[in-house]
Chain A
Amino acid sequence: MDDVKLKKASEHGIQPPLALLAELSHRCPLQCPYCSNPVQLEKKTGELTTEEWKSVIDQAVEIGMHQIHLSGGEPTVRHDLEDIVGHCTKKGLYTNLITSGVLLNPDRLKKLEELGLEHVQLSFQDTESENADRIGGFKGGHEKKLEVAKWVRDVDLPLTCNCVVHRQNIDNLENFIQMALDLDAERVEIAQVQYYGWALKNRAAFIPTPDQLDHATEIVEKARVDLKGKLVIDYVIPDYYAKHPKNCMGGWGRRFLNMNPKGDVLPCHAAETIPHLKFDNVREKSLKWIWENSEAFNIYRGTDWMPDPCKTCDRKEIDWGGCRCQAMALTGDAKNTDPACSLSPLHQEIFSMAADEAKRPPPEFIYRRYGVRFNSPT
């Protein structure tokens, strides 16, 4: 990077972060080919200890954070999950568990509920077993998840169904919404695959056609009206087909922190795909220091770093230039305008390439596993 002094969080007028996404472990029994974890997965031996997580939680509360999302990988692989949840709730963080569910049992859920866990997000790969288990790479997973959803509601924990949709399950969208209703969920997240890391390597297997996407959007909009007051529906479209890029993370280093299993503090879960970023670690620095000073945060804060067309765009403080990781993945430079933006010089080319992939038969999945070798770089 250039030898320019970067402005710190406070010099941008940025408040302390609101929420922490805590990746407790990258270990997971599922192998979803769109996993949001980095391609280089962290091993168990590198993971933060219980005491280290407790210290992070204390620091998060001290700087005024409101919420923690306990995620992974699969957070329930950690035998100290109960300790961590108990510590979060005792300190007053709103505590949310994001899980595949397949390792849970009724006793453990009851215990987590007693410890004050406030909400469970359960992932679903499809609405019927055969395809769901094929996508997740875990036999019997779907049936187990349906059972887990029931256990969650049995202990009166609120439930969100997390549904990642793509060309190989998007025709079941109405069934996803019905499933959430049948499972007595408060909320359903319908999220189109976002193309970083594993998902980018599998893009041709996942990207829907524009027609499929339009149809899905119609279904969601109708369901939102029909189910108002009964089911909250959050919807994330694949930004390849959007006019404006998504305002990723509410702007780089403006609202959220992500921590990986070994304690690196990241501006978002995909930030490790930007090779020149150097992350600070909670084993060496405090969370407060990192939010204020970490170069990995300050480098893309505000608007000073932006080139054209972002620099002169009247949406620059709305979109914040879109997604840095997507710019990196698709243009080779994280500073470039996110190609999802229609003003990006690469937008048309990438849009056509994706639309073309969507028309061809889907290739085999590259499953998320430790130590996968990739033949063709994207």
Chain B
Amino acid sequence: MTDILKINESIVPKFPKHVRFRFNKPRKEWVILAPERLVKMDPIAVEILQLVDGEKTVKIIANELSKKFNAPLETILDDVIEMLQDLSDKGFIEENG
């Protein structure tokens, strides 16, 4: 594992190799899977994480969501950073690069 990551708008987030973000069809739910860990994601987190592809920066992700939901970029950006920071602290998100 790397040192503690501080999420900001220019970071490109990605899932570490051992972390999977998957839709479970029979259960109809999105989850994060990691060794001995299973975390259900709420609808807002799902919207954000579906855009995490190891290429988009945090700012681009926030921009897309801002357009999609017709909401102010600044508010969205704060939410995205907060959520990704929380997941990063738990080892579910890392920086690509």
Interfacial residues, chain A to chain B (CB-CB below 8 A): 15-16, 18-19, 61-64, 66-67, 92, 94, 96, 118-119, 121, 156-158, 160, 186-187, 228-232, 234
Contact = CB atoms under 8 A, between A and B. Distances in A.
A158 B26 contact: no
A18 B33 CA distance: 11
Interface in B1-41: 1, 3-4, 16-18, 20, 22, 24-27, 31, 33-36, 38
Nearest to A19: B38
Contacts of B18: 118-119, 157-158, 186
5 contacts: A18-B38, A19-B38, A64-B26, A119-B35, A229-B89
A61 B91 CA distance: 26
A118 B20 contact: yes
Contacts, number: 60
A229 B89 CA distance: 7
The winner among B1, B33, B35, B38 for most chain A CB atoms within 10 A is B35
Chain A interface main SS type = loop
A158 B34 CA distance: 10
A54 to B, nearest CB: 18
A94 B1 contact: no
Interface of B: 1, 3-4, 16-18, 20, 22, 24-27, 31, 33-36, 38, 89, 91
Contact of B91 (A16, A92, A121, A186): A186
Contacts of A160: 35-36
Nearest to A185: B1
A96 B34 CA distance: 9
Given A67-B38, A186-B35, A230 B20 contact: no
A83 B97 CA distance: 34
Given A156-B17, A229-B3, A121 B35 contact: yes
Given A62-B26, A230-B1, 18 more contacts: A15-B27, A18-B38, A61-B26, A63-B26, A64-B25, A64-B26, A66-B24, A66-B31, A66-B38, A94-B33, A96-B35, A157-B18, A158-B16, A158-B35, A186-B91, A229-B1, A229-B89, A232-B91
A119 B19 CA distance: 10
B7 to A, nearest CB: 13
